Structure 1
Amino acid sequence: MQFSSLDLAPDLQRALQECGYSDMTPVQEKAIVPARRGKDLQVTAQTGTGKTAAFAVPLLQRMLDNPKATVEKRPRALILTPTRELAEQIAEAVKAYAKYVPLSVTALYGGVKMGGQANKLTAGVDMVISTPGRLLEHMALGNVILSDVEFVVLDEADRMLDMGFSADVLKLIQMTANKRQTLLFSATTSPAVNELSHKILHNHQQIKVTKVNSTADTVHHVVYAVEESRKIELFELLLNEQNWFQVLVFTSTKEQADRLLAGLQQRKINAAVCHGDKSQGARRRAIADFKSAKLQVLIATEVAARGLDIQGLDYVVNFNLPYLPEDYVHRIGRTGRAGAAGKALSFVSREEELTLERIQKLIGSKIERIIQPGFEVSNRESLLKSISRKIVPGRANKKSETVIEAPAAKSKAQPKSQPKQPKATAGRAKVLKG
């Protein structure tokens, strides 16, 4: 199905064509039409599937269908996002869609002075894209009034709940118009997401375009078994040996990110970090340098897992596994986007084996395991057997618990060009299936 078949306003259609939008993605096909008809939606779709256009295009068209004068401090549409990076990314996209139509868009987020944002709100804007915390700050100062908001979007709703924004989101939505349209978008589903949907959606339609909590078929997953203390050493070896460049690395804490940065800089590897303790300007520069290939490695914490959109990103590395299995899906969603091949690599210490089992259970498949020569971990096999018994006691033969891994060579997720392995047979990395 093509965007040209949607009978959109000519100026909106023109902007979409300039953005290169022709054929719709599955989430756009399923969400745009009911959203344009005014339905509340709960949409489950993984990152990189075109969700921004899926909610922004119908909302812009509905506002054009029912034009109203822009009123100071009183927006008509509100999009809530969990992070500053995602707010900026969505605003950039929506402004491109609205390039030729008389609708104004602004983004609100922390890390920058409020004065400029307050001036835009006072002048009047039709659509606000904001993080919950910064929007509440503007409300407390009287810079924005939400009672005229007719359209609400929660993007990455599951992430906002994980980050503890549940009460803030509900408070903000209660301030909007009673007769509003609400669209809830989420990469994963959970009891908490479903509970939120029941509180804020009315006679809603559920849309699922992928298997729940699944990962893109174009991503090839690999686990490297390694002692925690030797992860930086292994990472340096792989960077040099396999000629990796533009590698996005996730750590679980800011402290881990800073330690990794220091270790890489000692080894003369060009890297930067992106986490909550860095100023907005520093984070922007790090992301811009990474996108322009000035950096070989960008290190990020969970806060950046949803907000980074980097074209053609080949590698995502989990230096530490995330505490929540669902966050594994969020992290690796940065690669393998829009049908392109990507590779997700995880460094797993003995202490992380239980977390790895939970991740494999969530995504429904075993991950290829590699032991790099010289980085063998003692007693790992006995530990794996012990964990297996803990995870599924006495149920190893049940069909529901059995996952068969396809050979790596036949995997659809295999990147087109694989990194070359050392030629010497004695030095080859051992691949363990499961």
Structure 2
Amino acid sequence: MKFKDFGFTADVMDGLDAMRFVTATPVQAQTIPVIRKGVDLIACAQTGTGKTAAYLLPVLDRLVNGDHKGTTTVILVPTRELALQIDQQIEGFSYFLSVTSLAVFGGNDKDLWDQQKRALTQGADIIVATPGRMIQHLNMGYVDFSAVKHFILDEADRMLDMGFHEDIMQIESFLPKESRQNLLFSATMPPKIRELAKALLNNPEEINIAISKPAEGILQAAYVVYDYQKVNLIVDLLKGKDLQSIIVFVSRKAMVNEIVRALKRNEFNAAAIHSDLDQNERIEVLREFKNRNVQILVATDIVARGIDIEKIDLVINFDVPNDAEDYVHRIGRTARAKTKGVGITFINEDDQVDFYKIEQLIESTIYKIPLPPEYDEGPEYNPESKMKKKGKGWGRKPNGKKNNGKKYKGKKPFKKGNVK
């Protein structure tokens, strides 16, 4: 379906033309007509399917066609990175429109707080906010949401995972009860999302798009390794490869800087991003990565659903994510917008059951690549056996010590030499 077939106003179409948006994605083709009817909607769509444009475009079209004063749209998101990303998309789509927007997120910068306060006091048309910071402003008493017509939850499952349920409900209490359209977008649809939808939405229509499946353009593979082999394996996999943009996802932020140091020692252009960085530092790292000034981004899951960068060539899961759904979001950073990409996962002995659950979720067996011949042999991949032995010492290392997230200290040195 073409965007011209939706009947958007000329100004909205001018913005789409400038951004070279021609053909709608499946989630856009299915949700835009529903949203334009003014009914509530619950939509399940994975990362990278174009859902942000799916709700922004009909909202912007309605703002152009109607008279409005004050804030008309509140969008809640789990992370500041996603808030900034959506605000940037609003800028692009509304280039020819008289629409104002602001991303509202946390930080210790007084100037940032004052800027947010001014926009909220003056009534910016669209507010994109993280729940915690939005609550802080609402509690100060100067925010007027009486004119809100659209209440949108993006990445709703992630917000609930982060403990924002009470904040969401408190923010909703400041909004008008009548004549308000509620839109809930989520990558998964667990019972807690159903409960939230019942509390917020009125007779919603429901749309499901490719639930919990990686994009078809992603080549998936895995290595079965001991922890002590992982850092050097990353270095060896990347040497001599002509790859512009790579993301390495790490479960523990303590490992992020160690990986970056190893990459830099081997003359790779790498940068770290995790929660210990302040907001300005995180924005700068993402900007440098997006502009291709940084080749390798080593990140915790803080950016798993909060980054929208085209043409990421490779995603490496340094650790198997505990939640099978997070695997889909991690590798979903590549192969966006029908491009091709590669997702590689490192599986240690303790992570085999979790990886087996991922394979069950995506209904596919992921190829296990043999380690290079100069490497020590990795652990045997046998998750079914480990599931049977769970609770009886399963997943222990050859030295009898269970891996509790620390580097494995085996008897054999790596590759007959020192760690890189």
Measured against the shorter chain, the TM-score band is 0.7 to 0.9
1:183 aligns with 2:151: no
Q: How far off its partner does 1:376 sit?
A: 4.4
- C-alpha contact 1:226 1:375 (8 A) present in aligned 2: no
- C-alpha contact 1:76 1:126 (8 A) present in aligned 2: yes
Where does 1:394-433 land on structure 2 (aligned, <5 Å)?
A: none
Where does 1:122-201 land on structure 2 (aligned, <5 Å)?
A: 122-179=121-178, 180-201=180-201
Deviates more, 1:30-39 or 1:290-299: 290-299
Distance 2:173 2:16 in 1: 33
Distance 2:378 2:269 in 1: 32
- C-alpha contact 1:32 1:55 (8 A) present in aligned 2: yes
Q: How far off its partner does 1:147 sit?
A: 3.2
Q: Which residue of 2 aligns with 1:84?
A: 80
Amino acid at match of 1:155: D
Q: Which residue of 2 aligns with 1:350?
A: 349
Q: Which residue of 2 aligns with 1:419?
A: none
Q: Which residue of 1 aligns with 2:314?
A: 315
Deviates more, 1:369-378 or 1:94-103: 369-378
* CA deviation map 1:192-237 (0-9, x unaligned): 1111111111110010121x21111111111011110110011111
- C-alpha contact 2:224 2:379 (8 A) present in aligned 1: no
* CA deviation map 1:279-314 (0-9, x unaligned): 122112211222222222101111101111111111
SS of the residue corresponding to residue 369 of structure 2 reads: strand
Q: Which residue of 2 aligns with 1:329?
A: 328
Q: Which residue of 2 aligns with 1:426?
A: none
Deviates more, 1:249-258 or 1:214-223: 249-258
Structure 1 residues 106 and 142: CA distance shift in structure 2, 3 A: same
Amino acid at match of 1:109: F
Q: How far off its partner does 1:247 sit?
A: 1.0
- Name structure 1 gaps, 5 residues minimum: 392-434
Distance 1:223 1:274 in 2: 24
Distance 2:19 2:241 in 1: 35
Cα RMSD for the two superposed structures: 1.7
Amino acid at match of 1:154: L
Q: Which residue of 1 aligns with 2:411?
A: none
SS of the residue corresponding to residue 248 of structure 1 reads: strand
Amino acid at match of 1:4: K
* CA deviation map 1:97-132 (0-9, x unaligned): 122222211111123430111122223211101111
Q: Which residue of 2 aligns with 1:262?
A: 261
Distance 1:246 1:172 in 2: 38
- C-alpha contact 1:219 1:336 (8 A) present in aligned 2: yes
Distance 1:374 1:41 in 2: 54
Distance 1:88 1:237 in 2: 35
TM-score normalised by length of structure 2: 0.87
- C-alpha contact 1:239 1:245 (8 A) present in aligned 2: no
SS of the residue corresponding to residue 206 of structure 1 reads: strand
Q: Which residue of 1 aligns with 2:18?
A: 18
Distance 1:337 1:177 in 2: 37
Q: How far off its partner does 1:378 sit?
A: 5.1
Distance 1:106 1:264 in 2: 37
- C-alpha contact 1:8 1:61 (8 A) present in aligned 2: yes
1:207 aligns with 2:203: no
Distance 1:377 1:169 in 2: 49
- C-alpha contact 2:123 2:144 (8 A) present in aligned 1: no
1:291 aligns with 2:295: no
Where does 1:9-158 land on structure 2 (aligned, <5 Å)?
A: 9-69=9-69, 71=70, 75-111=71-107, 112=109, 113-158=112-157
Structure 1 residues 310 and 220: CA distance shift in structure 2, 3 A: same
Distance 1:38 1:20 in 2: 27
- C-alpha contact 1:39 1:204 (8 A) present in aligned 2: yes
Give the total of aligned pairs. Answer: 385
- C-alpha contact 1:79 1:152 (8 A) present in aligned 2: yes
Q: Which residue of 1 aligns with 2:245?
A: 246
Q: Which residue of 2 aligns with 1:229?
A: 228
Distance 1:58 1:322 in 2: 35
SS of the residue corresponding to residue 239 of structure 2 reads: helix
Q: How far off its partner does 1:266 sit?
A: 3.6
Amino acid at match of 2:303: A
Distance 1:386 1:370 in 2: 20
Structure 1 residues 6 and 119: CA distance shift in structure 2, 3 A: same
Distance 1:85 1:297 in 2: 18
Distance 1:11 1:385 in 2: 57
